[in-house]
Structure 1
Amino acid sequence: MKLFLKTVLVLGMLVLAAGCASEQTLIEPPSESTLGDKNYGQSPALNKNVEPQDTAATIQISDTLTFPDALSKAVLENPRLQSYGWQVRAREAERLQASLLPNPRLEAEMENFGGSGQFEGLDNREITIRLGQKILLGADRLKRKRLAGYNQQLAGWDYETQRLDVLTGVTQAYISALEAQQQWHQQQELVEVAQKLFDSISSQVEVGKVSPIAKTRAEVELSRARIDLENALNRFKAARSNLSSFWGSKQPVFKELAGTLAQTDSLPAYPSLVQYIQRNPDVARWATEMQQRESKLSLERAQGIPDPTISGGYKHFEDVGAEAAVVGISIPLPLFDRNQGDIKAAKYQINRGRSQRQAAVTEVTRALQEAYNRLQASYHEVKQLQNQVLPGAQSAFEGIQAGYKQGKFDYLEVLDAQRTLFTSRTRYIQALAEYNRAIAEVERLIGTPLSDIPSN
């Protein structure tokens, strides 16, 4: 009996030691950021995934939507971004799992009973109770935990990439909606101008100063302006719906947008932008990606080392009323499987990663060149429209209007000046919107606001 008590005590201490070695901690947001100066652990959208029922952090949208509210609403409620937040949490849980020791194995065995002859009945039975524990060689547990840590960091990079994509998408959608709103307002102004011109010509027709054909032409022009006004309103509605889809809304609750399209500013030179490519998360993540693949290779090599299992227990001999201790060790023989296939695959993944990193840099550089070309083209177009075309068209329209009242110009000349002016205004709004969208695209590719980069 003393031997039995000693054995139970030893087994209990073994289990206690295994439990202490695998002490668990609560899952909390990462204490350190893997994203340089961007701490994704402090993101409201990511932290909201911890308690999804908490609706305290919400953005209420009024009839007039502001740009900051649009950004905050999307970051908090974008469904795709939230899915990446859950991915970060899943990787945290996997890292916790990787830090745990394998469970001990309890075995119980009874033999030499229920047979024939002297083994008939239970008088000669032997009872064995054994507790076994696998011993991890090659630092498997440490390397699994390190690999899981890199996977967690990569999930953080994925989240940061998606967050920037959402912010860029919302910015461009807001610019497009603002463009549609300004075009709609301008078309309203055009309808008012066409209506006044039609009323003026109608009055002159009644007194016989102009031909009725001029009234017909003015009426046609007014009808066209009203059709364009309806089309402009429909485009504005579509732009509002596209913007609200970024936070999962099926129907926009806001009626209009606050703000105006930003005016052009001096542009930084292209070579000064290229040096910021490393801030792009699609590029910056590859430092962690290569560390993760190196860690994977290290783990595969460690798993090629067989892990022994030691066991100890108690055996009771019923026929002689005696007890004895039982110890054992089990070691897999690496005759055929030394994990050589997975080791080679991990090496190939490292080589593949080097090529993928270079491809990512090349792709971002190409996209940056294209975006900068669009930015530069829209910048020059806005400048020309702003400094030359619009002032000239406005001056010509006002001059011809005044001359028309004095009888110096006919209706067709007034109509031509009117079309030139409003077409130039439309072109200006389009160019200004394209300029702002190009800024958002360039800032996404370099991970830095253009305002932080010295201009020419």
Structure 2
Amino acid sequence: MQTVFWPLGLATMLALPAAAQGANAPTPTSPPTLLSAPPNTAPAAPPATAGSVLGLADALALALRASPELAAAAHELGAADGALRQAGAARNPELSLLVEDQQAATRSTTLQWSQPLELGGKRAARVAVAALGRDGADAALAARRANVAGAVMADFAQVQLAQERSRLALATLELARQASAAAAKRVAAGKISPVEESKARVAEAGVRLELSQAKAELLRARGKLAANWGATTAPFASVETAMAEPAPLPTLAQLTARLERAPQMARARSELARSQAELRLEKARRTPDVTLLLGAKRNAELGRNQAIFGLSVPLPLFDSNQGNVQAAASRSEQARSELDATAVRLHGQLQAAHGSWSGATEQAQLYRDEILPGASSAYAAAVKGFEFGKFSFLEVLDAQRTLFDAQSGYLRALTDIRLAYADLHGLLGGAPDTPTAEQP
């Protein structure tokens, strides 16, 4: 889509001309920089020095490499690997030595080896549970990676917004200062009331307050972005703000078709499969294991050796593992309900993010095509009218405030598009504007 920029600073070039009072013409206010369209998020080499300009790909690479949340999930995956390895291990044999009588002539010595034998498919069921647990840990890691990526993109957009608001407030402050100076000269010349100079000073103070707030918000947003990779201070001076239109909004049907492949859905399905495997394991444990006994006995009094063979079988008279089977069955149904709840929750979040994107897109277009041009024209007309005595200075200040609010609203709408994009990216585990067939 071709980018269309309205010169939001058009009016500022006309504001308070030098011809009126011999003052220098104010510096034009440039239009708000459009936040970039959803970019290629492939990890890039992150900047290593403070004072650099941080790109979104750099921020994603830093977070995916150094996020404490991802480090915890990776350790959980390592634990699942260990559990899978342990689940496949066979039970250890037992060696026992029994000596009867202290007298060597009548002593009886027994050496016995016993090996527990698992029956009912317990070992295979245990391995299946551990394997599905490992799959669940992998799915949890993927879900956390998607969440971290979405959080980085959202925080990056907030830093972009704070930067642009600071720049806009600084430019507006310069205009307000020049307006105050011009008003003072007109008061000195007896052309306007001192009350209007006071109003100009108040307007200038208000803009200074907004600049201070914008700087504080920028500092907070920078720290929040850096926290995604565990940094306590922001190791960058600014972030990139590319000038491009947001990507076209995918349809709700296109996004819904990808919801089944979302990382959180995969995690919930993996948990359901693991709980079902645990139920099968508990049912298998109702089959008693047997213990094979082999050994030899030396009878010193008789002077001969005797072979020992035996088989030990527990009798499930009081404990047939029925309680654990019941608990596993309930957990399986719980996992099924949680899968259904996850699907409903994600669908609601998807609809909300899609609605936010759609609404913000309409607002941005309205600001760009109607509100900003109208505010710029009104400001230019107010300045010209003030020069010729048609409008009061208060009306010029009001037009300037309207233009500033329009510029701020446009930036907010563009940021809302980026925030909705980030929400969908974290929800779907990938760029929402990528066709389903191209998803890995």
Question: TM-score per shorter chain, which class?
Answer: 0.7 to 0.9
2:188 alignment partner AA:
E
In 2: Cα distance, 1:58 partner to 1:381 partner: 34
Question: Equivalent residue for 1:322?
Answer: 304
1:134–1:307 CA contact under 8 A, matched in 2: yes
Q: CA deviation at 1:95?
A: 0.4
Maintained 8 Å contact 1:175/1:261? no
SS of structure 1 residue aligned to 2:219:
helix
The alpha carbon displacement at 1:256 in A equals: 1.4
Name the SS of the counterpart of 1:123 in structure 2: helix
Q: Does 1:82 align with 2:71?
A: yes
**C-alpha contact (below 8 Å) 1:178/1:261 kept by paired residues:** no
Report the residue type matching 1:94 in the other structure.
A
SS in 1 for 2:405: helix
Give per-residue Cα distances to partners, 1:180-239, cap 9 Å, x unaligned: 111111000010001111122222233333333322222222122112211111111111
Contact 1:262 1:436 in 2 (8 A): no
What per-residue deviation string (whole Å, max 9, x for no partner) do you get for residues 219-278 of structure 1? 222122112211111111111111111111122222211124753443222223222110
The residue that corresponds to 1:373 in the other structure is 355
Structure 2 residue 125 is the aligned partner of structure 1 residue 143: yes
Residues 20-77 of structure 1 show CA distances to partners (whole Å, capped at 9, x for unaligned) of xxxxxxxxxxxxxxxxxxxxxxx99xxxxxxxxxxxx976254222211111111111
1:413 and 2:395 equivalent? yes
Asked if 1:112 corresponds to 2:112, the answer is no
Q: Secondary structure at the match of 1:450?
A: coil
What residue is the counterpart of 2:365 in the other structure? 383
Calculate percent identity across the aligned residue pairs: 29
Aligned to 2:55: 66
Q: Which moved more, 1:155-164 or 1:62-71?
A: 62-71
Match of 1:34 in 2: none
1:188 is aligned to 170
Shift of 1:105: 0.2
- After the TM superposition, which residues 43-442 of structure 1 pair with which residues of structure 2 at under 5 Å, given as runs? 60-63=48-51, 64-113=53-102, 121-260=103-242, 263-442=245-424
Structure 2 distance, partners of 1:366, 1:209, is 61
The 3 A distance-change label for structure 1 pair 181 and 148 is same
- Give the aligned residue type for 1:60: A
Q: Calculate the TM-score normalised by the size of structure 1.
A: 0.82
CA distance in 2, matches of 1:448, 1:250: 28
In 1, Cα distance between equivalents of 2:46 and 2:110: 62
Whether the 8 Å contact between 1:306 and 1:333 is mirrored in structure 2 is yes
- Paired with 1:163 and 1:261, the residues of 2 have a C-alpha distance of 28
Q: Secondary structure at the match of 2:104?
A: coil
Any unmatched runs of 5+ in structure 2?
1-41
Task: Using the TM superposition, give the Cα deviation of residue 406 of structure 1 relative to its aligned residue in structure 2, in angstroms.
Answer: 3.8
CA distance in 2 between counterparts of 1:141 and 1:198 reads 84
Q: Which residue of 1 aligns with 2:38?
A: none
Once the two structures are overlaid, the 10-residue window that deviates more, 263-272 or 251-260, is: 263-272
TM-score (normalised: structure 2): 0.84
Larger deviation, residues 402-411 vs 314-323: 402-411
Residues 1:451 and 2:440 are matched in the alignment = no
Residues 59 and 72, structure 1, Cα contact 8 Å, conserved in 2: no
Q: Could you tell me whether the CA contact under 8 Å between 1:263 and 1:432 is conserved in 2?
A: no
* More contact order relative to length (CA 8 Å, sep ≥ 6): 2
Could you give the per-residue CA deviations for residues 68-121 of structure 1, whole angstroms, max 9, x where no partner exists? 1111111111111110100000000000001111111010000123xxxxxxx3
Q: Deviations over 1:157-186 (max 9, x none)?
A: 111111111111111111111111111110
Gaps of 5+ in 1: 1-42, 45-56, 114-120
More deviation in 65-74 or 315-324?
A: 315-324
Distance 1:70 1:187 in 2: 26
Q: Is the 8 A contact 2:364 2:410 kept in 1?
A: yes
SS at match of 1:110: strand
Between the aligned partners of 2:67 and 2:426, the Cα distance in structure 1 is 18
Q: Is the 8 A contact 1:177 1:236 kept in 2?
A: yes
- Structure 1 residue 368 displacement after superposition: 1.5
Task: Single out whichever of 253-262 and 376-385 deviates more from structure 2.
Answer: 253-262
Which amino acid in 2 is paired with 1:106? L
Would the alpha carbon gap of residues 176 and 138 (structure 1) be closer, same or farther in structure 2, given more than 3 Å must change? same
Identify which range, 87-96 or 293-302, moves more after superposition: 293-302
Q: Distance in 2 between matches of 1:296 and 1:261?
A: 54
Paired residues in the alignment total 393
Give the partner amino acid of 2:353: A
For residues 330-375 of structure 1, the C-alpha deviation after alignment (integer angstroms, 9 at most, x for no partner) is 1111112111222222223333332222221111111212222222
CA distance in 2 between counterparts of 1:123 and 1:377 reads 99
